[in-house]
Amino acid sequence: MRDLKANAIILIAYLLAGIGSFLMAIPPGFIAPVWLPGAIGLAAVLLVGYRALPAIVIGAILLTLPYGLFVLEAGPVSSLAGSAGLALAAALQAVIAKRLIHPGTVSAMSLETGPQLARLIAVGAIFASLCGAALASAWLTIGGFAPPDLDFWTAFARNWAGNAVGAAAVSPVILLLFAKERVSRRRKRNVALVFAILSVIGLATFATTRFNAIEQRREAFATLITEDHIALQERINGARRRLESLHALFAASETVTDQEFATYVAIAFGQFDSATSVHWLVTEDGGQLSQHALLDPPAELVATQARAILVTSDRRVVTDHYFEGLPNLVETTLLTGMLSGTPLFGEGDEAWIGLALPAFAGNTIPATVNDRRRDFRGIAVGTFDISTIISRAFTHEGDDYSFRVSGIGSDGVAPWSFGTLDADSRLTTSLPLAIGDETWLIEFAATDRFLAEKQDWLSWAVIVIGLIFITMLNALALMSTARTDLVQRLVDEKSAEALALSNNLSLVLEHAADAILSVDGNGRGVLVNPAAAHMLGYELDALTGEMIHELIHPVDLQGRPHNRTECPVFQGSPDQSRHSGIERFRRKDGSDFFAEFSTEIIISPDGTTVGAVTILRDITARMEEEADRERFIEQLTRANEELERFAFAASHDLQEPLRLISNFTGLLASRHGDKLDESGLTYLRHTLDATARMQTLITDLLAYGRLNSDADAMNTDVDLTALVSSTLDTLGPAVQAARDHIEIGSLPVVRGNPARLGQLMQNLIGNAVKFQRAGQQAEVRISARDLGKSWEIEVADNGIGIKPDYREQIFKPFKRLHSPDTYPGSGMGLAICRKIVQSHGGMLTIVDNIPTGSIFRFTLPKALPTESGEVGTPSETVDP
């Protein structure tokens, strides 16, 4: 439905444009100087796409079919074929234009930039119509649909120029006026106005030029035919003069021999090549006429030659004619006594003028008809070939005009005529032709060719140059209006953006939790947000224009007075435009608060400070919290230290009684064991075991507690290889038994405390050998990896492993996963290990060993480099 409506509109526009173009067309080419439908087609495909094609095809057929049928009279079939070809060319042109223009043009319709317009004109108007014109002209001239005298190149040139110029001048305007894109009404109106004015000027110039040209042609025609008319009249007069001289010959002598006649005629008519026969007919008594005939009479005349004219006794010419019409001619001459003429027609186009001149006795013309009949002595008759007369007189017949010579009948109807006059000619002139005292009429009709010559090219030039001019002015109008349009649009957009921005900024300022204050170059408040006013205890507008520096506490955090000159706004420099820190501020009511501030100094390009923006955050609460926290930590640390001291003292003091219990229980067993029965001995053994465990616990606890003291030096280079092997020596029988299965990789020299590191290795290796399944051979591997800044040491075993859930718990003091009966121990080993690694700045963790067992990993600092650059060779280390 939408398509139908669009197509209907396009079709109507196309037809109107076509009719307008035809009106501008000038014969004989009948090709419009400007083919406006091309412009409609181009604009239509660009506006609605290929949907416009049906309208273009139908429009082209409707325009050209009547032309073929009625102007060229080419017959229905070839007219239809011709217009179909032209329609195809029009569609092709539109498709090419659309394909080439559209992909590259972002905003094809608003033609906002010069390149867009240039592209439309170059590709859409000039190039696409080149293709259309080539096809159309080939179709026209090869298919024989064109006017007869139109060759391919002329057709092509006119078609192309007309199409291209029309499309270039008109399509941008159509596109702009009907574009869906944002084109302001003002711009549309301006462009339409400029185009309309220019078109009116162009058309007026075209019409004036054409009118002038027609006028000029009319004048040229008048001059031309006057010349030719005079020449014709002269020619006829010449014939008459020759006949008169012939007449003088016979008047002078009554008897003229054929020989004399021949000589004389040869002299008089020899150079007069239109004369076909010359006769001298004389009346004789008894009605006999003697005659001389010369030159080359036409066949018909020859056939009736002998004694052709009989004059009766009453001197009437009788019917035995020399040629048809002669009696009338003679009669006319007798009536007037003067030269008389008559047209003579032969076969086909052959025609002559017969001229007759009477001779009377006494060589004077008797006054009355009766006297003239009486004195009639003879008649000189000449026949002149009209074609030859005309061809000698007329210089431009045929090409420039057609003509007709006719007699004037009494009723206004020509009794006879010669020649074919183009009755449709737009310029005809008739002039009289004097034959004796008789008048014939000669009519001239200008040919289309004559009328079109010059005028055609002039008008074309006017139209084409005019349209090029229109195109250029239009382009200027399009682009200049586009610029104002663009500027307006830009202004609108930017204003909207600015408004949105300022709204956003107001929102930000209004809702910011931090105080925002901006000051001018003198440090006076320019803008203060509600948070700032609230923080400082002022009304919102109260701080505008006030010295903002006065809000800072008069004494700074170091107890020095705060000078106004120290205000950051006076300290700004291009390299240091930001100041931040913590400052004490004073509210309006005199109360103080601490705030973190950040000030950005605004420095203009010439280096002067034009103002500053400061953001304040009240940190009074935070500072109080921090002070509370620090106090709390201090208390906690103190309590912890006391607790540790107490635990250490307690375990140390517990050792003594425990040793006594252990010693005395041992003595009881050794000295009085024989007095005890079986269960008594068992109790004694349990007591001994428990005290031993208690002792281990206390020893380990003391060891753990001792690690808290920083007394131990941590800065010795320790060769781990030596450390591990000496550690192994100190370990119990289980380790000794597994010693062959303890693999010691190449271990580095690290920095730390040898005693603590020995303890660490002892615990880890001990555990690795201890936590094995019954009957399984323990396999332990100790290795190291360079992490760049530190060493990563790994102790891996094939033991029972540790479930992921317990991997963190087992580092807690006394945490054990088994009963002392299964695997003996205090549960302090790993806690001590972690503390040792931590005291070396590292971390101890557990990872899975595949397929079974555990891997303990920890980092230790590298030994300091020696002078040779090597890190910790064994020779330079302290052997623990």
Per CB under 6 A, contacts with ligand ADP among 546-565 are: none
Hey, how many other C-beta atoms are within 10 angstroms of the C-beta on 811?
A: 18
Residue of the chain from 757, 768, 793, 871 that contacts ligand ADP (CB under 6 A): 768
> What is the helix (H) or strand (E) element at residue 603, kind and residue range?
strand 592-603
| In the complex, least distance from residue 815 CB atom to ligand ADP, rounded to whole angstroms | 6
CB 91 within 8 A of CB 53: yes
| In the complex, least distance from residue 646 CB atom to ligand ADP, rounded to whole angstroms | 23
Distance CA 574, CA 855 (A): 59
Helix (H, G, I), strand (E, B) or coil at 733: helix
Scan for tokens 């008047």, then name that residue. Answer: 251
Q: Which is nearer to ligand ADP, 457 or 814 (by Cβ)?
A: 814
Q: Which is nearer to ligand ADP, 79 or 826 (by Cβ)?
A: 826
Distance CA 660, CA 124 (A): 117
Q: Where are the alpha helices (DSSP H) in 512-619?
A: 530-536
DSSP letter string, 637-696: HHHHHHHHHHHHHHHHHHHHHHHHHHHHHHHHHHHHGGGS-HHHHHHHHHHHHHHHHHHH
Q: Is 651 a residue that touches ligand ADP (CB under 6 A)? A: no
Q: Which is nearer to ligand ADP, 53 or 836 (by Cβ)?
A: 836
Q: Which is nearer to ligand ADP, 174 or 780 (by Cβ)?
A: 780
**Which span (309-317, 535-543, 606-614, 814-822) binds ligand ADP, by CB under 6 A?**
814-822
Q: Which is nearer to ligand ADP, 473 or 690 (by Cβ)?
A: 690
Residue of the chain from 85, 748, 829, 872 that contacts ligand ADP (CB under 6 A): 829
Q: Which is nearer to ligand ADP, 623 or 817 (by Cβ)?
A: 817
Q: Which is nearer to ligand ADP, 325 or 801 (by Cβ)?
A: 801
Return the sign of the alpha-carbon dihedral for residues 868, 869, 875, 876: positive
Residue of the chain from 88, 244, 817, 876 that contacts ligand ADP (CB under 6 A): 817
Which phi and psi (to 5°) does residue 602 adopt? -95, 115
Q: Is 99 a residue that touches ligand ADP (CB under 6 A)? A: no
**Which span (143-151, 179-187, 251-259, 818-826) binds ligand ADP, by CB under 6 A?**
818-826
| In the complex, least distance from residue 826 CB atom to ligand ADP, rounded to whole angstroms | 5
Per CB under 6 A, contacts with ligand ADP among 9-28 are: none
**Which span (325-333, 429-437, 438-446, 810-818) binds ligand ADP, by CB under 6 A?**
810-818
Distance CA 260, CA 242 (A): 16
Q: How many residues bind ligand ADP (CB under 6 A)?
A: 22
Looking at the DSSP assignment, which residues form a beta bridge with residue 784? 793
Q: Is 177 a residue that touches ligand ADP (CB under 6 A)? A: no
Q: Is 771 a residue that touches ligand ADP (CB under 6 A)? A: yes
- C-alpha pair distances (Å), 578 with each of 518, 569, 584: 14, 10, 19
Q: What does the per-residue mask of binding to ligand ADP show for 747-766, with x meaning CB under 6 A?
A: ----------------x---
| In the complex, least distance from residue 695 CB atom to ligand ADP, rounded to whole angstroms | 14
| In the complex, least distance from residue 856 CB atom to ligand ADP, rounded to whole angstroms | 7
Q: Is 702 a residue that touches ligand ADP (CB under 6 A)? A: no
Q: Is 694 a residue that touches ligand ADP (CB under 6 A)? A: no
| In the complex, least distance from residue 641 CB atom to ligand ADP, rounded to whole angstroms | 24
| In the complex, least distance from residue 806 CB atom to ligand ADP, rounded to whole angstroms | 7
Residue of the chain from 158, 242, 816, 840 that contacts ligand ADP (CB under 6 A): 816
Scan for tokens 């431009």, then name that residue. Answer: 396
**Which span (156-164, 216-224, 615-623, 829-837) binds ligand ADP, by CB under 6 A?**
829-837
Q: Which is nearer to ligand ADP, 448 or 797 (by Cβ)?
A: 797
Q: Which is nearer to ligand ADP, 599 or 763 (by Cβ)?
A: 763
Q: Which is nearer to ligand ADP, 289 or 764 (by Cβ)?
A: 764
Q: Is 858 a residue that touches ligand ADP (CB under 6 A)? A: no
Q: Is 767 a residue that touches ligand ADP (CB under 6 A)? A: yes
| In the complex, least distance from residue 824 CB atom to ligand ADP, rounded to whole angstroms | 7
Residue of the chain from 85, 382, 568, 825 that contacts ligand ADP (CB under 6 A): 825
- C-alpha pair distances (Å), 872 with each of 610, 747, 783, 865, 877: 62, 11, 17, 7, 7
Distance CA 549, CA 354 (A): 131
| In the complex, least distance from residue 699 CB atom to ligand ADP, rounded to whole angstroms | 12
Output 579-583 pairs: Cβ under 8 A, ≥24 positions apart.
582/557, 582/619, 583/552, 583/553, 583/556, 583/557
Helix (H, G, I), strand (E, B) or coil at 274: coil
Cis peptide before 33 (omega within 30 of 0): no
Which residues, other chains included, contact 95 with Cβ-Cβ below 8 Å and sequence gap of 6+? 45, 50, 53
| In the complex, least distance from residue 724 CB atom to ligand ADP, rounded to whole angstroms | 16
| In the complex, least distance from residue 553 CB atom to ligand ADP, rounded to whole angstroms | 57
CB 46 within 8 A of CB 175: yes
Hey, how many other C-beta atoms are within 10 angstroms of the C-beta on 633?
A: 10
- C-alpha pair distances (Å), 321 with each of 95, 97, 365, 629: 77, 78, 24, 157
Which candidate, 401, 407, 420, places its Cα nearest to that of 222? 401
Q: Is 448 a residue that touches ligand ADP (CB under 6 A)? A: no
CB 842 within 8 A of CB 777: no
Which residues, other chains included, contact 491 with Cβ-Cβ below 8 Å and sequence gap of 6+? none
CB 357 within 8 A of CB 342: no
Scan for tokens 């808290």, then name that residue. Answer: 708
Q: Which is nearer to ligand ADP, 162 or 799 (by Cβ)?
A: 799
Q: Is 861 a residue that touches ligand ADP (CB under 6 A)? A: no
| In the complex, least distance from residue 730 CB atom to ligand ADP, rounded to whole angstroms | 16
Q: Is 781 a residue that touches ligand ADP (CB under 6 A)? A: no
Parallel, antiparallel, or unpaired: how do β-strands 351-360 and 340-345 relate? antiparallel
Q: Is 98 a residue that touches ligand ADP (CB under 6 A)? A: no
Q: Which is nearer to ligand ADP, 488 or 838 (by Cβ)?
A: 838
Q: Is 32 a residue that touches ligand ADP (CB under 6 A)? A: no
Q: Which is nearer to ligand ADP, 360 or 856 (by Cβ)?
A: 856
CB 863 within 8 A of CB 877: yes
Q: Which is nearer to ligand ADP, 32 or 831 (by Cβ)?
A: 831
Q: Which is nearer to ligand ADP, 160 or 858 (by Cβ)?
A: 858
CB 180 within 8 A of CB 48: no
* SS (HEC) of 41-86: HHHHHHHHHHHHHHHHHHHHHHHHHHHHHHHCCCCHHHHHHHHHHH
Which candidate, 227, 264, 221, 220, places its Cα nearest to that of 242? 264
Per CB under 6 A, contacts with ligand ADP among 789-808 are: 797, 799-802
Q: Which is nearer to ligand ADP, 99 or 773 (by Cβ)?
A: 773
Q: Which is nearer to ligand ADP, 111 or 830 (by Cβ)?
A: 830
Contact set with ligand ADP (CB under 6 A): 763, 767-768, 771, 797, 799-802, 810, 815-818, 825-831, 854
